[in-house]
Structure 1
């Protein structure tokens, strides 16, 4: 959809108004000058509302690229709409599902203990990098892949909306974001995201999609690593962009999980639009050496827009491994702007 400025919409109207209704028709030049003054005022007012500070945005993107010399970073994309979260904020998210203590820290601890732990991580990251604001988030598995087909033969389970309502109520007192994460199973991105549009229309609700559980060849989720093409990811972008335009919202953040080459195909065809900010998120656990290698191979070398990094409290600290600290991750090129704990 073409974006029209306020000036382009009101210019024809003002021209007709002053040409037909100006009592001083004998001096048309006077009416034209008045038109010009009014339009310029409207242009200035509109610009102050809709334009971001591109100089500041560029400076922040260069800082995130962390002295990259390859030319990959920062990625050249359209400027975001006003109110964009990135690159002005770093998002610190707790991942999981309220039905399970095994799927992530979000559901592992009682509410108050979990929130206190999340706020502690936010404080650590804020102290490590004072150049960006740090904000908390709940990254909730709203559609979970399943080993059985279920009645709809989708090999996934859609969580009840009351759980999303619970997360929203938890988020409000601490000004947290809420991410709804989708594991499609044998379904598809369009169907699974579309059933959540009412929630995604809320200003603080964003989206995550997980190709690991997208089983295009009919495999059972969890038995083989799945895949998303650029078309799948673009489907999510289209839905989010439409919501942003219709509801006149700030840009939505889309998190795409990845830890293998095949999880995302044709990355160069992924759309970048002003309404959506894309985070390619380095998933997977292991030693620091392994995780850095994964980040370099699949996130650094195939740039889309922004980057994320997942940390596992248990699996990254197993077998004499050590979980990365904020200070260590801030040395990465590019610096991750979205951090997820599982």
Structure 2
């Protein structure tokens, strides 16, 4: 993955969030929310099902067993994981997202195309997954890089460009173009850290349809400039973010958050056995290396499969995956044969 370059720091806009809770005639709790964007527009945040039902534990067990694809090593499905709170997306749906940043056409499909064209292309991918695995509904989403590692230090010397509220609001508005869309805000912390960076997106994480992604590649704990070497997160970092999300879910009575951790080398994540699971958070270890199909499958087999955390993801690069022979993209049918089958799919 090439180091993203954005010019200058962005101004921070102002947004406000309002929420209301009510009960239906049958006693089921519903949540209705609106968000006022920085430009004054109002967008409904009823992007996910408003009625939250308790999970079916038998269905959950059957789904994670099926997802293990017959693994006989005992690694998958992950043992002794807590059942999620009501409203959990995984493993009942497969998440399919477009990834990118609105200020760069080189960082992914989200940003490369105008919103209507982007949605047209993403829905083509959704239909492919619905055809390949009709038993699991697709949960569509947008995965936005909310802080971008930079080649220049910036005013605070952290080598990071934080997207302002106005830019994030624009992504929420694009998400609202299609019903039931979820949004991921991704952090590349560079020389900063999760404790200092998560507060910049805190109010968005209080929304029921906004989730979190973190990228160890750009976590430069040794002070190196981003892009000079691959960074890393320890289980302690992942646990900090996961606990933060769990606290948000409990405080605001939200459905579980999906928490995506990028990975394509062994050193990017350390002490995986110490990663803690919560009913309020669903962790996805996401294979985001690029290359030909056999290389990508090898990365998944060597760095995702042997270190089980909870769920897995897989990234398809529209351009980088075509650089080497056989110059083709992996298909949903191929990905469904992996052990375990990835439940989060990202297109860049």
* TM-score interval, smaller chain: 0.7 to 0.9
Compare 92-101 and 311-320 and name the one that shifted more: 311-320
What is the match of residue 82 of structure 1?
A: 86
Q: Aligned-pair distance for 1:171?
A: 1.0
- How far apart, in 2, do the equivalents of 1:136 and 1:178 lie? 9
In 1, Cα distance between the equivalents of 2:322 and 2:53?
Answer: 45
> Offset of 1:172 from its aligned partner?
1.7
Normalising by structure 1, we get a TM-score of: 0.85
User: In 2, distance between residues paired with 1:213 and 1:205?
Assistant: 22
Runs of 4+ in 1 over 3 A off after TM superposition: none
TM-score normalized with structure 2 length: 0.83
Q: Residue 308 of structure 2 is aligned with which of 303, 307, 312?
A: 303
- The aligned length equals 298
Structure 2 counterpart SS, 1:250: coil
Gaps of 5+ in 1: 1-44
Per-residue CA deviations over 1:220-260 (Å, capped at 9, x if unaligned) read 00010000000111111011001000000000000000000
Asked if 1 retains the 8 angstrom alpha-carbon contact of 2:151 and 2:227, the reply is yes
Q: 2:237 aligns with which of 222, 232, 235?
A: 232
The residue that corresponds to 1:52 in the other structure is 55
User: What is the 5 A alignment of 1:251-270?
Assistant: 251-270=256-275
- CA deviation after TM superposition for structure 1 residue 318, in Å: 2.0
CA contact (8 A) 2:142 2:175 kept: yes
Give CA-to-partner distance per residue, 1:38-69, whole Å, 9 cap, x none: xxxxxxx99xx874211111000101001001
- The 8 Å contact of residues 291 and 324 in structure 2, kept in 1 or not, is answered as no
Alignment of 1:103-114 (within 5 A): 103-114=107-118
Whether the 8 Å contact between 1:65 and 1:73 is mirrored in structure 2 is yes
- 2:126 pairs with 122, 125, 147, which one? 122
Among 193, 197, 212, the alignment partner of 1:207 is 212
Alpha-carbon distance between aligned partners in 2 of 1:132 and 1:333, rounded to the nearest angstrom: 17
Q: Distance in 2 between matches of 1:169 and 1:203?
A: 15
CA shift digits 1:8-35 (9 cap, x unpaired): xxxxxxxxxxxxxxxxxxxxxxxxxxxx
Residue 272 of structure 2 is aligned to residue 272 of structure 1:
no
**Are the equivalent residues in 1 in contact too, given 2:55–2:88 (CA < 8 A)?**
no
**Does the 8 A contact of 2:76 with 2:308 survive in 1?**
yes
Q: Please say if residues 50 and 81 of structure 1, whose CA atoms lie closer than 8 Å, have aligned partners that are also in contact.
A: no
1:69 aligns with 2:72: yes
Which residue of 313, 323, 332 corresponds with 1:326? 332
1:237-290 C-alpha deviation (Å, 9 max, x unpaired) = 011001000000000000000000000000000110100000000011011111
Choose between structure 1 and 2: higher strand proportion.
2
Unpaired runs of 5+ residues, structure 2, are 1-27, 30-51
Contact 1:230 1:266 in 2 (8 A): yes
Query: Does the residue aligned with 1:150 lie in a helix, a strand or coil?
Result: coil
Cα distance in structure 1, aligned partners of 2:55 and 2:147: 35
Give the corresponding residue for 1:340: 346
Give the corresponding residue for 1:155.
159
Q: Which residue of 2 aligns with 1:291?
A: 296
* Offset, 1:164: 1.0
